[in-house]
A and B are shown apart, each in its own frame.
Chain A
Amino acid sequence: MRDDLFDLLWEALRETLYMIAWSSFFSLLLGLTLGILLVVTDKGHILQALPVQKTISLLINGVRSIPFIILIVILLPLSRLIVGTSLGPTAAIVALSIGTAPFLGRIIENSLKEVSGGKIEAAIAMGASPLAIIFRVLIPEALPALVRGVTIAIIGITECTAVAGAIGAGGLGSLAIRFGYQRFREDIMIATVLVIVLLVQAIQLTGDFIAKSIHNRRFKIE
């Protein structure tokens, strides 16, 4: 162990957290849009439009079948277009957001589908608009499941930041490759892995806690 370890780790962790936070944010925005569209345009739902539903579904399957490391390479020009560079954490956010949004879209679709048809029907009978049904019924009713799903997705994004790190995005993944692997710094290798494990653990525990407290408030009988 050398005395640069802590500084290197700290810097890498900050980059990783930066990537996770913004990628999660944009991925969530995109994923929510996709997930909501998938559900409400489906057969018998409030905004049925099967061609739209099928197209989105195909698109999602398409993007999801591309290995992430290849997707990053494909999306490099887009990163350059949007943030002006194809290197570093900020550039990686573009690829991370777009790459993980389809996965999140599916997770959100599944959570929203769990909301019973009866509740939606009751809202329609009350004269609620499609937007009101989406934001006041579908999302709030599915909230515990959504939180659990989003937690899984953020952990997925964390893994992807490590992969992106390997090809120049910075962060913990990049530290592990550049120092741990290429310069045989075992201490750095072990420390980065440890930090990533702790990070994933913390995200999972936080997600579980939030989902559980929402669920308990609604369903626990004193």
Chain B
Amino acid sequence: MIVVEQLTKTYQTTKGSVLALDRIDLQVRKGEIFGVIGFSGAGKSTLIRCLNRLEEPDSGRIRIGGDDITGLSGRRLRQARQKIGMIFQHFNLLDGKTVYHNVAFPLAVAGHPRDRIGRRVREILDLVGLADKEGAYPAQLSGGQKQRVGIARALANDPDVLLSDEATSALDPQTTYSILELLRDINRKLKLTIVLITHELEVLQHICDSMAVIENGRIVETGPVEKLFLNPESDTARKFVGVLEQYRAKRDLIEGMGAGI
């Protein structure tokens, strides 16, 4: 479904150039939820933003479905983007538009007729559980509800792929859980391929089928999610799993003490 080959990206800054992505190879199968995990500054955002060319790679190749994303420009690129949904950490909803019009936006952009837009918006708001909020403005919604609108907007035009850039990082644990459940649900119902990046192991553990670990712009480990827990090979993976183990041990200890009293 998604094939990334030798993707390289450097940022030019006043202090010199930063190698953000270093010859990344990646394959995401159709219909799976693929997680990319890494510490801050590892290059996660850069990677996912290259997938829809919000960021211009220096070299390498990206194919999504039948499209050679790296070879497109202008109108063709915009048409390809209409089939790649994206959700963001800070939602990026349009404050001047109601929930309805936020979700209708990508459909209007794609040039669908009005009656079809109306039907589709209601259908998709139903799916994310916001049917009663279509007249509300983003400012009148909770964080979780805003992200649901973000997801509805990303799904409105029936994309082949959903990209998620830390979509749950601004949410509390319970809301995070409900959003992850929603993504899982959508993935199954629509057979949608999802690429999500995160710095939370729980997210990976909860909904991802496969994963890649990114460290200093390089993929250092990839495979099914279980492998990461059972047999972490890279430094980053060991650190992530190690921290989780420590917390588990601590929790068991505290709970054990509680039981003893």
Contacts and interface: CB of A to CB of B under 8 A. Distances in A.
Interface residues of A: mostly helix, strand, loop or mixed? helix
A118 B92 contact: yes
Given A127-B109, A128-B109, A221 B94 contact: no
A140 B97 contact: yes
A128 B92 contact: no
B137 A124 contact: no
A125 interface: yes
B109 A119 contact: no
Given A137-B94, A140-B96, A219-B95, A126 B105 contact: yes
B198 interface: no
Contacts of A123: 105, 109
Given A136-B105, A140-B97, A141-B94, A125 B81 contact: yes
A65 interface: no
A128 B84 CA distance: 12
A129 interface: yes
Nearest to A119: B92
Contacts of B105: 123, 126, 128, 136
B109 A126 contact: yes
Given A140-B97, A222-B140, A124 B81 contact: yes
A132 B93 CA distance: 16
A118 B88 CA distance: 9
B96 A218 contact: yes
Contact of B78 (A122, A128, A141): A128
B96 A143 contact: yes
Given A140-B96, A143-B96, A122 B81 contact: no
Interface string A182-210: 00000000000000000000000000000
Interface in A114-159: 116, 118-119, 121-129, 132, 136-137, 140-141, 143
B224 to A, nearest CB: 29
A154 B75 CA distance: 39
A121 B157 CA distance: 17
Given A126-B157, A129-B75, A218-B139, 10 more contacts: A116-B92, A118-B88, A118-B90, A119-B92, A122-B88, A122-B93, A124-B54, A126-B105, A140-B94, A220-B139
7 contacts: A121-B88, A127-B82, A128-B78, A132-B109, A140-B96, A217-B137, A218-B139
Interface of A: 116, 118-119, 121-129, 132, 136-137, 140-141, 143, 214, 217-222
Interface of B: 52, 54, 75, 77-82, 84, 86, 88, 90, 92-97, 105-106, 108-110, 137, 139-140, 153, 157, 163
